[in-house]
Structure 1
Amino acid sequence: MITAGDFRKGMTFELDGEPNVVVDFQHVKPGKGAAFVRTKYKNIITGAIRETAFNPTEKFNEARIETRKMTYLYNDGDLFYFMDPESFEQIPVGKDLMGDAVKYIRENDEATLRFYENSCFAVEPPNFVDLTVTETEPGIKGDTATNVTKAATVETGAVIQVPIFIEEGEKIQIDTRTGEYLGRSKE
């Protein structure tokens, strides 16, 4: 059990049977009246953000979030299958839980899956991935204005804005958190 007075950023707790993470908090001691903890928290499953004032002695169960690195195997329609590299257990994940991760994960790539009570609620790709450009328009010779970009489709089907000098077949590095081109791959 944890109390609201123990809240820190990133701490997880259960409220009404659902897991939440503390986004921001502030201990308030007004001149009159009792102290309270103004808390901004996010529901881990739905993503809803709320602000509430709690009594510092209010008690909550700690939400145990399990994080596992797993290997993406394949997709079968709306299900994506991941394998635990230690136990070789395969877990199907619905397309709705994949989010943007589906744009950056190839077969046999590693991803981070988050579980609450043995149920997967989030899939996160690595922060940086190297993908091959499969389709893009050729650059126009002489077009050297700064920050000129064009759309490029990578092997996973994601469309990324890249500089005009990038050509089909090149490997590029992408930041999966923002979807931005970082540079040519060093592989």
Structure 2
Amino acid sequence: MATISDLSKGNYVRYNGEVMQIEELLHRTPGNLRAFYQVKMRNVRNGKLAENRFRPGDDIEILRVETREYQYLYADGDTLVCMDKETFDQVYIDKTLLGPSVNFIKEEVTLLIAFENGTTAITAEAPSHVVFEITYTEPGLAGDTATRTLKPATIDNGSEIRVPLFVNTGDKIKIDTRTGEYIERVK
């Protein structure tokens, strides 16, 4: 066990039985009162934010978290199969770890996966941008770039997104995996 004063931003801790990541840590000494730590933590499983005050001597369990890069191979039901590029070991992670960005990843993309004690995956992060090809959209209109009007389009993994009017079937586009929004056309 460690004390609150050993924490820093980005550490993973076990708080009330849940795995939390420290987002903000402030040491406060108000007037003639005792000092305390104001801690903001985010639950890695459901994303909820928790805030609490701790005394400087309070104990807390700091988790040993190891982050490694894995290559996404394929989806198998509600799990994703990923492979370590160096040892070729395969791991199975839950799709919910990626959140909404799971709809915008494709095979052979590199994921950043964090493991608690080297065994249990607690977080997974997709690359911020990926390139997809448009498989179907209504025909584009030449020269229509003045307004930010969007139309539906289907990308090559089957997901549907909104793209500007000038994008045509067969175009390659860059997508933000966190929001699923169109960024730009790629040559």
TM-score where L is the length of structure 2: 0.86
Deviations 1:59-88 (A, max 9, x none): 323222221211111222233211111111
Q: What displacement does 1:111 show?
A: 1.4
Unaligned runs of 5+ in 1: none
* Alpha-carbon distance, 1:109 to partner: 1.9
Counterpart for residue 23 of structure 1: 23
Whole-Å Cα distance in 1 between the matches of residues 102 and 66 of structure 2? 21
Q: Which residue of 1 aligns with 2:13?
A: 13
CA–CA distance in 2 between the matches of 1:139 and 1:130? 20
Q: What is the CA-CA distance between 1:141 and the residue it aligns to?
A: 5.3
Structure 1 distance, partners of 2:131, 2:143, is 28
> Are the counterparts in 2 of residues 12 and 63 from structure 1 also a CA contact under 8 Å?
yes
Cα offset for 1:17?
A: 4.5
RMSD across aligned C-alpha pairs, in angstroms? 2.1
Amino acid at match of 2:149: V
Counterparts of residues 51-90 of structure 1 (less than 5 Å) = 51-90=51-90
Pair 1:124 & 2:114 matched: no
User: Compared with structure 1, are the counterparts of its residues 144 and 182 closer, same or farther at alpha carbon in structure 2 (3 Å cutoff)?
Assistant: closer
Q: Count matched residues.
A: 186
The amino acid across from 1:170 in the alignment is: D
Which runs of no fewer than 5 residues in structure 2 stay unpaired? none
Closer, same or farther in 2 for the Cα pair 1:64/1:46, shift >3 Å? Answer: farther
C-alpha displacement of 1:95: 3.2
**CA separation of 1:165 and 1:89: change in aligned 2, threshold 3 A:** same
Find the aligned partners of 1:55 and 1:22 in 2 and give their Cα distance: 16
Q: Percent identity?
A: 40
Q: Aligned equivalents of 1:110 and 1:50: distance in 2?
A: 30
Give distance in 1, aligned partners of 2:61 and 2:127: 30
Quick check: 1:101–1:123 contact (8 Å CA) kept in 2?
Answer: no
Q: In structure 2, what is the equivalent of residue 50 of structure 1?
A: 50
> Secondary structure in 2 aligned to 1:61?
strand
> In structure 1, what is the equivalent of residue 164 of structure 2?
163
Q: Which residue does 2:110 correspond to in 1?
A: 110
The one-letter code of the counterpart of 1:65 is V
What's the CA shift for 1:29?
1.3
